[in-house]
Amino acid sequence: MKRKSLKMKGEKGRAERRAIAAPSSVSEPKQNEAAVASQPVSTSVATLEYPPPHVVAECARDEANPRLVADYLEAIQVLRDEKKFTFREIAEWLTEKFGIETDHNAVYRAYTRGMPDQEAMWVAREDDEAEREATGT
């Protein structure tokens, strides 16, 4: 099992010791500061324990399979081609209506997968223009 150690210098601790050790009278601070500064700096060590690999693998097996945005390509195509939604609007629609957490970039990648680069760039340009028109900028 691997362990990772973190060492932290006690600079904050040194300042706290100075504040605690500082006398209330004004005439003696230089003597006490020199004594505190000569004390060794304390070092604290924290050991982090990583779980065994088989435990991590078991947790991975228990995770639910997420539905990929590409699984909803038919709905994306209907909203994009027939309803003229922007990619951002499609992402918001999927999230609000069905709880599918996605963003406009993932929707764009699913929609343009398999398209030639030139056509995908044209689609992106059209989407930018549609968003500008919708927001009035």
Question: What is the residue-level pLDDT of the chain in tens, covering all 137 positions?
Answer: 444 444 444 444 444 444 444 444 455 555 555 555 566 666 766 777 899 999 999 998 887 666 688 899 999 999 999 999 999 999 999 999 998 888 999 999 999 998 899 999 999 999 999 889 888 87
Q: Is the pTM of this model over 0.85?
A: no
User: Would you kindly state where each structural domain of the chain is located, as residue ranges?
Assistant: 3-62, 69-135
CA dihedral (110, 118, 77, 124) positive or negative = positive
Phi and psi for 116 in degrees, rounded to 5?
-65, 150
